[in-house]
Amino acid sequence: MTAEGQLFRLCAEVVGAFVLYRWAVSPAVRWGARAAGAGLYPEQAINGAYPTAPATLKAGARAVTAVLPLVILDALAPQRPAGGLGLVPVCALALVLWKALTADFDIAHDLHWQRWDRLATAAVCVGALVWPPLMPVAVVMLCGRLGAWTHHSMASLRLVKAYVAWMAADSVALLLSGHREPAVDSAAWLVLASTVLLSHYVVAFVAKLRLGRRPWDWAMRNRTETLVASSYTWGWARWLPERAVARVIQAMAPFRVLLNIATLVVEALGLAAFFGPWALVAALAGAAAFNVVVAGCSGLLFWENISMALVLAVTVAQLPDDVASVAFGWAPWLLSGVMHGLVLAGCGWSPAWLAWWDSPLAARVHWVVVTAEGSRRGLYNHLMSPHDREYGRDLGSGLTSEPFVTFPLGGVEDERLYECLLRASAPVDIALIKEDFGFSCARDGFREAHADYLRSFFARLNAGVDKSPLPRGLRVLKAPGSHLYRWGALPAYRRPDGPVAAVEAWHSEVYYHADRGEWESLREELVMTVKVGPLDARHGGP
């Protein structure tokens, strides 16, 4: 094939895959997952997307019907990309499957249908790992029956969905042209996959440029080190003494501008990734390193992103020459740039616009359990798996009528609010700020629903219902969580501590004073007490 022919086929496949992703794959998967039972959070589901009832035969049929045309189209002429690129979607699907299968059961609900959900999903996903045209069904089952569509897994799931779109586009290209071009087809998949993953960082880069009045305001003025202080308040690294953490924060402060600039550079590397193989490797390695630093500073662990960035980087480093000759240059760079532009315009997939000002105020609702013997223990988010992400964020904010002014880790988007919080020095200052900027997180019926959930959950926990799907000797194989806030002022509750008699929800506000390296508690208010009774017929059996 001539160079012009290769260029035309590359552009046609990438454009076709992008169009199919946006207007066929993504809508079909979303509709199928909701038909299968995924909770619509927070509008309807109180804890997350994990389902709360067994799937019906009719719902299962509707879910499969939604993606069946994609399975058929992908199966017409399946082709594995060259140079190990076929391992990319396989690894992405395997990571999400590992996380979903090893998460705890939601013991507030019957375990019988949850076990069947996991067995069925495992069977379909293993089939999809061997026969990729089955991947649309696998994604629907992961998202619809195991609650896999969460922020930290989205990049991996989008890689799988992109592969579904690429397989469909590749099948159409074969039918129209009558022949394969393995190097060009593989290059098209590489351009699409790398753009999908790196767009999550490019969008965050643009969001930070838009945050202030001038593009460089965030880099020059954001106090990134206060993220460490807020994360410590939430429970990250609480095994360290306050003075040690304060010294780390104070050591970071003089370098905040350099840290911010480095963040922007790493996030922007995706815009230049297709100038050459090592430019792409650098962008992917930078993304992985960035997420490692984020985890160390905040306890927010994007281990799926880290893993997939490294898988792609290793694959690109070993790319066959015939694929590399097509995958890099002005045309792939332009294709990737156009896709980034469409994503930024809201016409593609939807990465989160991760940009905020890091303020010194952390407000949250946290939980304490009181055992039958009267001891008090911290209820930390890992115990609430598979809802550990929600319990590590702002789920409890709906339990109080007190206004909030920040995101869970102290972030704010309003520049005026940020300046006010930096100048605050006393509780009266925070009260005045709330009058001007406060918002309520209260939801109709949420307090009652949350109380019922906790009663059911702990009644079954007290009765000895086993949360883990793994045998006791294999529980070290459970996939890591995403919000590592399993420590705090009180020891974490464990089953040997005895039955739980009550659960308390506390609204706390903590302000970090950078000038003296101290955390000041501004509020510690009891907002709810839930008495836990014995297991009764309403809670069902295990």
Q: pLDDT tens digit string along 110-166?
A: 999 999 999 999 999 999 999 999 999 999 999 999 999 999 999 999 999 999 999
The pLDDT score that the predictor gives to residue 541 is 47
Strand, coil or helix: what is 176? helix
Cα-Cα-Cα-Cα torsion 274, 296, 298, 143, nearest 10 degrees, comes to: 60
Distance CA 87, CA 130 (A): 11
Are the C-beta atoms of 100 and 38 separated by less than 8 Å?
Answer: no
- Cα 448 → chain centroid: 28
What tokens does 315 get? 């694959």
User: Sign of torsion, CA 427 430 435 440?
Assistant: negative
The pLDDT score that the predictor gives to residue 534 is 85
- Tokens 């930024």 — which residue? 344
DSSP-derived pairing of the beta strands 361-371 and 357-358: unpaired
Tell me how far CA of residue 207 lies from CA of 214, 323, 445, 489, in angstroms.
12, 33, 34, 35
The pLDDT score that the predictor gives to residue 537 is 46
pTM of the model: 0.96
Tell me how far CA of residue 216 lies from CA of 207, 226, 271, 541, in angstroms.
12, 19, 18, 58
Distance CA 288, CA 299 (A): 15
Distance CA 73, CA 199 (A): 27
Distance CA 513, CA 483 (A): 24
Give the number of other CB atoms < 10 A from CB of residue 448.
Answer: 9
The pLDDT score that the predictor gives to residue 294 is 97
Distance CA 38, CA 282 (A): 37
- Cα 20 → chain centroid: 24
List of the chain residues with pLDDT < 50: 537-542
- CB under 8 A, 24+ apart: contacts of 281-286: 281/313, 281/316, 281/317, 283/194, 283/198, 284/194, 284/197, 284/198, 284/309, 284/310, 284/312, 284/313, 284/316, 285/309, 285/310, 285/313
Mutual angle of helices 57-75 and 135-145, in 10-degree steps: 150
Residue 371 forms beta bridges with which residues? 500
The pLDDT score that the predictor gives to residue 43 is 55
The pLDDT score that the predictor gives to residue 539 is 46
